[in-house]
Chain A
């Protein structure tokens, strides 16, 4: 056991845990952040996705110690000032989820994708999202929602001249 300091959604936490414990269990069981979920523990499905240094990261295979010193964003941290992130809004507008269990991974992956590539082509969306699995098979709507979110982000950027979202 050792002291691990994590900065999650703008808050700093220090915990006495085994540094090899996957970040997922710390987020869920110690910090009560339940957006990321256990799906495989193998880095294959994406249900546990968080954003670290702008990249979508699978927290189920990330030792908590390796996330020290970086800003970690979970699903709960996407909205700012009581306003949903455009990706989240697009997910509601397109009525994407069925059961919704995987949607943390879909939303976080899409957010990181759009941060890097604000106007992705269909092929880029398929490639960028490919390792986020959904067993309700809501892929068709997810891909539509990503295009809608790209438009929302572009429109907000034009009207405010500022970056939108986390």
Chain B
């Protein structure tokens, strides 16, 4: 009997099962039974692998491929019902820590009619879970949750049909509840899910053109019939994260494993001339220096030996003859003067020009103009990039926390020239990845080195490498002009953005991962890059929006390589857009909330998801939760050292609406800003797990706060000089607001509709935070800060310039 606990089942347990010759893989091939015996649990119920179990795992892990993709059109690929009427769900996603795994279990349990704590979830293992692409784009619930719900509903339908046949009564005369099917007319006649199908295959073929469209015959439940969705069961992964029993990707170990460290070029764009291997040959445990093109790594038996070898390796590099980039101090001037590589084409339904902005600006009673600047920022994961790769049996098994495990598999197979079904990725938890991070790069490096040395290799980036060489969110400069009529109505708005987004790299692309670039492998044309304008529903009769892309001098092999960083452009563009709306409100001597509501109410048009109506509801909810007093900004200047103020900012991300209010305390003598209180009104439609959502929103807002107050990647003309937590500060305990208030809004005009969809929540709430803080500083001081980050020194300089 399985003793199910409210915990994650580790991938190791799955691997352990393989060793019992009744593997998930065999099951997926259709050969019959899947024997499941979950191992004894740790203190919190989480799996603790003893040495004996570990040996089994290792043996299983090194078993030969091939590893074909699980067929997403087979119900058995998604759901297994066990003899004890528990269920295991297999999904192709990864949970970076925002609780999506718990939400998946809730949705699937609900549709299957089984208790949440009788279920279990396996994610992101390319061999045994269907390819849903892993994580990204805040789409876990919004997009990928749908096939999960539909397949679970289909499983319930099939089980009901089986019971119907067993009892000889039509399905509608059966009651289904918590894994038990009962004849309504005679409750003594009942059967459990386990009795009907325990450990056996459904053998049900699903339909759908692609994995997102996967469906059976059954329909999903109406919102009103969902019982587990909308509840807040605790996150199943948390106990193992606090008792020390969780096995992370960083913990992956196999016998014979060796340790690697990269050695990066000392300056960007340098060419490797010579390596003096004798400089490290004497280090105990030294195995090999591996180099190809400008890529260099050392491999040693022990970790500390590899660290020493990487530090000690003597090399000759030839520096590039021209500067690789401007100094960070000169970045914005460089971007303004550069010739754009492209102009971003607007995406329908957002035309780039509405009305006649030039004429409207010429006729305006008041025209104001402002420029804003936003630096390169990094993901800067707390745990530097890492991966472990095992080349046993002519295949490649990679343990990684990469949020797109499936892409890593495909990319590595291409990079190494191996058949795709000889490569697999086992996803395990790791440090947060809010977009395209160096976790991709480390996976390729580990696999390449494992192939080179013929032994399992663990790659671990160092802190300086992570901070300097991880993928960056692009820098921006903005110029905005707005025209008000005599009554203070906004009649024209011109938005011009430039982003250093040229050669924006994708995920796990074998031509653009760092190791490929350093080896000289690259696509013929860099990606053009781009960005969307601020996402709001304001009705402005005359407007023009232009976004241009610029390139830095060094395009390849650069530590300033750009890719997706949480949203990926919203914090930047919303900072400019919502700061400027605040400037216009101040110029119109209007209250910032009322000014925005007027812009939203100016049109009666709305879109299919009622984004305009929901925007109004979110703004009003935020103002009410804060206790907003209606008045223009700035407030009359205080007399003490500490000045207080509040600012609002609003935006949407796809269909999710967010309005945030920041309350600040600003020290006029030091320039220090403390955001004392944050309020967020958040409308993401149907909420799966309110507490989990609150945690995700808090993290989003505080990440936004860190980017507002601290984060900037700095560089001289040849290298990134941000290399650790001193040269690249982040939010700390001392910065934490004293109070955070969240309001979960359902602003749908028909809030109780049975088909209310869930929208994404992984990134929306990071977008408005920076502007809310800037607007609050203005409210407190009358000084407008137009350059991110708002570090003490630069804020104080702005105060002095304004003679505060």
Chain A residues at the B interface, C-beta cutoff of 8 Å: 1, 18, 21-22, 25, 28-29, 34-35, 37-42, 44-45, 47, 74-76, 78-79, 82-84, 88, 91-92, 95-104, 107, 122, 125-127, 129-143
A139 and B692 alpha carbons, distance in the complex (Å): 16
Distance from A22 Cβ to chain B, minimum over Cβ atoms (Å): 7
Give which listed residue, B246, B706, B730, B733, contacts A126 with CB less than 8 A: B733
Q: Quick check: B732 and A133 within 8 Å, CB to CB? A: yes
Distance from B679 Cβ to chain A, minimum over Cβ atoms (Å): 13
Assuming the A-B contacts A34-B244, A38-B460, A92-B242, are A101 and B732 also in contact, with contact meaning beta carbons closer than 8 angstroms in the complex?
no
Q: Quick check: A136 and B97 within 8 Å, CB to CB? A: yes
- Set of chain B residues within 8 Å of A140, measured between Cβ atoms: 698, 702, 736-737, 740
The segment from B323-331, B427-435, B599-607 that touches chain A is B427-435
Q: Quick check: A42 and B724 within 8 Å, CB to CB? A: yes
- Set of chain B residues within 8 Å of A75, measured between Cβ atoms: 243-244
Q: Quick check: B702 and A141 within 8 Å, CB to CB? A: no
Chain B window 366-387, contacts with chain A (Cβ cutoff 8 Å), 1 for yes, 0 for no: 0000000000000011111000
Q: Mind listing 27 A-B residue pairs with CB under 8 Å?
A: A21-B304, A22-B304, A28-B251, A34-B250, A41-B307, A44-B724, A74-B244, A76-B244, A91-B238, A92-B238, A92-B242, A98-B96, A98-B98, A98-B696, A99-B96, A99-B430, A99-B432, A100-B237, A100-B238, A126-B736, A130-B732, A134-B382, A135-B730, A137-B705, A137-B731, A140-B698, A143-B736
Q: Does B738 lie at the interface of the complex (its beta carbon under 8 Å from any beta carbon of A)?
A: yes
Q: Quick check: A40 and B302 within 8 Å, CB to CB? A: no
Q: Quick check: A79 and B463 within 8 Å, CB to CB? A: no
A28 and B383 alpha carbons, distance in the complex (Å): 15
Assuming the A-B contacts A34-B251, A137-B698, are A142 and B733 also in contact, with contact meaning beta carbons closer than 8 angstroms in the complex?
yes
- Set of chain B residues within 8 Å of A29, measured between Cβ atoms: 302-303
A-B contact sample (20 more), CB < 8 A, given A34-B248, A37-B383, A132-B733: A39-B383, A42-B725, A44-B725, A44-B726, A45-B725, A76-B243, A92-B44, A92-B239, A95-B238, A96-B242, A97-B235, A97-B237, A98-B97, A98-B699, A100-B242, A125-B733, A126-B733, A133-B730, A136-B97, A137-B706
Interface residues of B in 679-698 (CB under 8 A from A): 691-692, 695-696, 698
A92 and B6 alpha carbons, distance in the complex (Å): 12
Chain B window 290-305, contacts with chain A (Cβ cutoff 8 Å), 1 for yes, 0 for no: 0000000000001110
Assuming the A-B contacts A95-B695, A135-B432, A137-B698, are A34 and B733 also in contact, with contact meaning beta carbons closer than 8 angstroms in the complex?
no
A29 and B304 alpha carbons, distance in the complex (Å): 10
Q: Quick check: B432 and A136 within 8 Å, CB to CB? A: yes
Q: Does B424 lie at the interface of the complex (its beta carbon under 8 Å from any beta carbon of A)?
A: no
Which of A34, A107, A127, A135 gathers most chain B CB within 10 Å? A135
> Main secondary structure on chain B at its contact with chain A?
loop
- Set of chain B residues within 8 Å of A125, measured between Cβ atoms: 733
Distance from B53 Cβ to chain A, minimum over Cβ atoms (Å): 13
Q: Quick check: B242 and A99 within 8 Å, CB to CB? A: no
Q: Quick check: A25 and B304 within 8 Å, CB to CB? A: yes
Which of B237, B239, B699, B731 gathers most chain A CB within 10 Å? B699
Interface residues of B in 655-714 (CB under 8 A from A): 691-692, 695-696, 698-699, 702-703, 705-706
Chain B window 433-467, contacts with chain A (Cβ cutoff 8 Å), 1 for yes, 0 for no: 00000000000000000000000000010110000
Q: Quick check: B304 and A18 within 8 Å, CB to CB? A: yes
A44 and B702 alpha carbons, distance in the complex (Å): 20
Assuming the A-B contacts A95-B238, A97-B238, are A143 and B382 also in contact, with contact meaning beta carbons closer than 8 angstroms in the complex?
no
- Set of chain B residues within 8 Å of A38, measured between Cβ atoms: 250, 383-384, 460
Q: Quick check: B248 and A92 within 8 Å, CB to CB? A: no
Chain A to chain B: the 9 pairs with minimum beta-carbon distance, closest first: A99-B97, A137-B702, A100-B241, A98-B97, A35-B244, A75-B244, A101-B431, A139-B736, A40-B463
- Set of chain A residues within 8 Å of B732, measured between Cβ atoms: 130-131, 133, 139
A37 and B380 alpha carbons, distance in the complex (Å): 16
- Set of chain A residues within 8 Å of B248, measured between Cβ atoms: 34, 37, 101
Q: Does B177 lie at the interface of the complex (its beta carbon under 8 Å from any beta carbon of A)?
A: no
Distance from B364 Cβ to chain A, minimum over Cβ atoms (Å): 41
Q: Quick check: A101 and B430 within 8 Å, CB to CB? A: yes
A141 and B430 alpha carbons, distance in the complex (Å): 20
- Set of chain B residues within 8 Å of A74, measured between Cβ atoms: 244
Distance from A160 Cβ to chain B, minimum over Cβ atoms (Å): 20
Interface residues of B in 631-662 (CB under 8 A from A): none
Assuming the A-B contacts A88-B243, A126-B734, are A47 and B251 also in contact, with contact meaning beta carbons closer than 8 angstroms in the complex?
no
Give which listed residue, A18, A101, A122, A131, contacts B382 with CB less than 8 A: A101
Distance from B153 Cβ to chain A, minimum over Cβ atoms (Å): 29
Q: Quick check: B383 and A101 within 8 Å, CB to CB? A: yes
- Set of chain B residues within 8 Å of A137, measured between Cβ atoms: 698-699, 702-703, 705-706, 731
A25 and B284 alpha carbons, distance in the complex (Å): 16
- Set of chain B residues within 8 Å of A100, measured between Cβ atoms: 97, 237-238, 241-242, 246, 429
Q: Does B63 lie at the interface of the complex (its beta carbon under 8 Å from any beta carbon of A)?
A: no
- Set of chain A residues within 8 Å of B243, measured between Cβ atoms: 75-76, 78-79, 84, 88
Q: Does B420 lie at the interface of the complex (its beta carbon under 8 Å from any beta carbon of A)?
A: no
A132 and B242 alpha carbons, distance in the complex (Å): 15
Q: Does B247 lie at the interface of the complex (its beta carbon under 8 Å from any beta carbon of A)?
A: yes
Q: Does B43 lie at the interface of the complex (its beta carbon under 8 Å from any beta carbon of A)?
A: yes
What is the chain B residue whose CB lies nearest that of A99? B97
- Set of chain B residues within 8 Å of A141, measured between Cβ atoms: 695, 698
